[in-house]
Amino acid sequence: MNPLEESGRGSRCIDPCVVVIFGATGDLTGRRLAPALYNLGREGLLPPNFALVGFARREKSDTQFRDELKKDISTYSRVKPLDIPFWNNFQEQIFYHRSNFDDDAGYIALAGKLKAIDGRYATRGNRIFYLSVQPKYFPMIIEKLDQFGLIYSPSDTRWSRVIIEKPFGHDASSAAKLQSDIRKHLDETQTYRIDHYLGKETVQNLLVFRFANSIFESLWNYRHVDHVQITVAEDIGIAGRGHFFEEEGLLRDVVQNHMMQLLSLVAMEPPVSLSAGAIRDEKVKVLQSLRPLQESDFEHHVIRGQYVPGFIDGKPALGYTQEKDVSPTSKMETYVAMRLFIDNWRWAGVPFYLRAGKRLPKRVTEIAVVFKDAPGVLFQKNGQKNDPNVLAIRIQPDEGISMKINCKVPGPSSPIQPVKMDFRYGSYFGQSPPEAYERLIWDCILGDSTLFARSDEVAKSWEFFTPLLQFWERQGEIKLVSYVAGSWGPLAADAMLAQEQKAWRMP
């Protein structure tokens, strides 16, 4: 059953299974995956017959692994403090498996361990393999899992599914190669390409907001929308991931995946149903309609930036090239702003402005739909201009939706002032939404891939960005501009909008 159709979180039937995390001693496991599994368990959403196996290269015992996860969960879980009675039971189902990713003996031993777990916890042979490892290991791990009988045929009564972390590929050709490598071992129905933005409640709500309300759809097009701004700002830097960032950069880390998901959901046509296929078909059409970027766009409508030392919240912040594991002469980007167009009937001529960056003043992800000005005959005399209406969808934090409208200030002189109508999830529903990883791991256990990226989506997105990446490879040094940590990015990004008589919103 589709996650958007179900009536309640607990209403779907769930199979017993074992989740095996590859890269279990990494940052993602501690910060996101372990807290997600813990919260799913605490809320009664994991199957009663369940086990977790951490697969990694470092030497450690089950007890050490459990203790480390306990510490991480206590620090990073959205619900605190740790529920000790629940944890004491839950940890009994957690195991550690030491092996190198290329070691056949490690996979043979893993198969034996999983069989024993099936016997002890009645997990019935069902498996999720979560690949939270450097992308270069994806094909090898999948090949070994297949070789040692850990991937079943899709028609087997038991199931095996593989969750693949991003980035899925490095550009169009490497993504195609990765896809063809894994296709030899995995069916598309067993492949779950994760983009955790799709697991965010507010991202899922985009579809509900657009297609369960009649008032917005008639305005959602080139006739009424002046432009759209999508912002993914983070105050954190690269968070100790120097090696990763030096390889990938911001465009591959955030824009090619998370931002393209937001863009597709905002711009897509209504799907014919809520099935995974129907929704993903419409998202792909948006990516297919992106106007290819030309050399002149690379020059004038894409800004590539890197942060230099500054202050965030009054505290000094290092520049990118001073960060650990980063070359002092690195030319890698930590900020991207760009203008793009979707050449279809709905969005003809409407610019979409995207910006994303590390070490900006605050963490905020927002989609702002800026509407065209009202005719200027009544309230815009003497050159006075009213603010445009803006519908701002706040993805995080303070999840919510606000609408900016113009209003008369009480009193005889009638000045006009923009005001905000505000809806906030937290205050309205009295709870903060679950973490994206909870939703996605749960959907994978249920076998629902709606909120995962399909191979053609990933391919289209890479097709769009690869010419830009190649241009940067040739011209990267020249095209890189700096911005002070704690600022809203390079001045060139402001100038790009100013040329078109627009300005970035202050989210």
- Is 258 noted as a catalytic residue in this protein? yes
Place of tokens 């697969």: 55
The answer to whether the Cα torsion of 432, 434, 436, 439 is positive or negative is: negative
Rg of the chain over all Cα atoms, to the nearest angstrom: 24
Q: Say if CB 282 and CB 270 are below 8 A apart.
A: yes
Binning the chain into helix, strand and coil, the percentages to the nearest 5 are 40, 20, 40
Position with the least CB separation from ligand BG6? 253
Return residues touching ligand BG6 (CB under 6 A): 196, 234, 253-254, 365
Place of tokens 């896809």: 179
Q: Residue 158 CB, nearest distance to ligand BG6 (Å)?
A: 31
* Of the candidates 122, 120, 123, 139, the residue with the CA atom closest to the CA atom of residue 131: 139
From residue 38, how far is each of 46, 79, 301, 431, 468 by CA, in Å? Answer: 9, 10, 44, 18, 41
Q: Is the bond leading into 167 cis (omega within 30 degrees of zero)?
A: yes
Task: Report the C-alpha gap between 228 and 354 in whole angstroms.
Answer: 8
Residues 170, 185, 196, 258: which is the catalytic one? 258
Q: Which is nearer to ligand BG6, 171 or 366 (CB)?
A: 366
Distance of CA 387 to the CA centre of its chain: 31
Q: Which amino acid is at 40?
A: L
* Of the candidates 472, 495, 447, 481, the residue with the CA atom closest to the CA atom of residue 251: 472
Residues noted as catalytic? 258
